[in-house]
A and B are shown apart, each in its own frame.
Chain A
């Protein structure tokens, strides 16, 4: 791919992901169907079958799903330039909108009616986090080892002020050791 073609592809990627970033509410997983439609169905930048691979990779690498998918598709389509263009595109709408909101929010919060509204919103929005916990719970593996890790991680974060990053590293290592041992005993494929 020559540079000119690469530039043209990158501009296209930027516009596609800008649109995706500007029109998906709820981020991450809510973005996947739109990404699939824009990149695989409408234009054939990637194969439709690759979408599930992209989700799997986004899940097993750190960071927001939206960024991971944009970078991945951008790279596959037009190299490093493409990945930078797609990532910038997906980030820019949120960035600008939140900057504007941040500018007004403090002043809005001075009104009593807005304070009351947020009083209700704080209670209501916790339900969305409950829903997120439930969906993460459904996606996790269900057996004694997993439950022990879940309980341990909960206790660690609620009852201690030990570093969460240390816990994440520990749990990753524990999963690695557990699976390796089980595999050696022939209990995992």
Chain B
């Protein structure tokens, strides 16, 4: 049943995401795209939508995937699923807060997890780069000279420079959209 499946999938995603926000991307790619609920390109579009609307990425993406798959009830199930693990775990942790904070076992486990999240996110980024630049797996180097690739590369390079200089995400997204329209009208 689709509602249970949405709930269960987002429950696992919520349960195994450490660090919040985009740390969720590797699991979204594995679970949501594998289910056929979303495509990589759509996910990339949605990151931009989530950045331009208020609220946490986790809630935005679960609501969206739920709504696209099974309407309002679907989005309710997915969002409830992503929220519930955090909610229950924090209820427990809030009771043993001081012991949790000073726990060596927790800090030792987090030591491994923090490193894992960096590698996983780089992997998720790689997957998205491949889709945006090559539209396909396997990577075809012959497509490097196509106008789509060149436009994407220029926009990406400019955006990375801007992002690392702490330009606001909204400005980056709006300028990229303008650049996309310009490239589209001129070259595509």
Partner of A127, one of B45, B67, B115, B159: B159
Number of B positions contacting A (CB below 8 A): 108
| Residues from chain B with Cβ under 8 Å of A99 in the complex | 63, 67, 72, 75
B26 touches A120 (CB 8 A): no
Is B37 in contact with chain A by the CB < 8 A criterion? no
A81 to B184 alpha-carbon distance, docked (Å): 52
Knowing A25-B51, A28-B57, A67-B58, the reply to whether A57 touches B183 (Cβ < 8 A) is: no
**Chain B 148-185 interface mask (CB, 8 Å, partner A; 1/0):** 10011101101110111000011011011111111111
> How many whole Å from B188's CB to the nearest CB in chain A?
7
A91 to B128 alpha-carbon distance, docked (Å): 27
B21 touches A127 (CB 8 A): no
A118 to B41 alpha-carbon distance, docked (Å): 10
A162 to B132 alpha-carbon distance, docked (Å): 23
A133 to B19 alpha-carbon distance, docked (Å): 11
- Which of B21, B115, B173 has most A Cβ within 10 Å? B115
Is A3 in contact with chain B by the CB < 8 A criterion? no
A94 touches B51 (CB 8 A): no
Is A1 in contact with chain B by the CB < 8 A criterion? no
Number of A positions contacting B (CB below 8 A): 99
A168 touches B116 (CB 8 A): yes
A131 touches B163 (CB 8 A): yes
B185 touches A136 (CB 8 A): no
Partner of A126, one of B30, B72, B129: B129
A103 to B71 alpha-carbon distance, docked (Å): 9
Partner of B173, one of A22, A63, A125: A125
**Top-7 shortest CB links A-B:** A120-B180, A175-B112, A124-B176, A94-B55, A63-B86, A153-B119, A116-B184
Other than A80-B91, A93-B54, A119-B180, give 8 A-B pairs with Cβ distance below 8 A: A118-B48, A124-B172, A129-B124, A133-B125, A146-B111, A149-B116, A153-B115, A173-B109
Contact sample, A vs B, 18 pairs, CB 8 Å cutoff? A25-B170, A27-B56, A27-B57, A64-B17, A64-B21, A95-B63, A97-B55, A103-B67, A120-B184, A123-B151, A123-B156, A134-B164, A149-B116, A150-B118, A153-B116, A153-B119, A178-B111, A179-B107
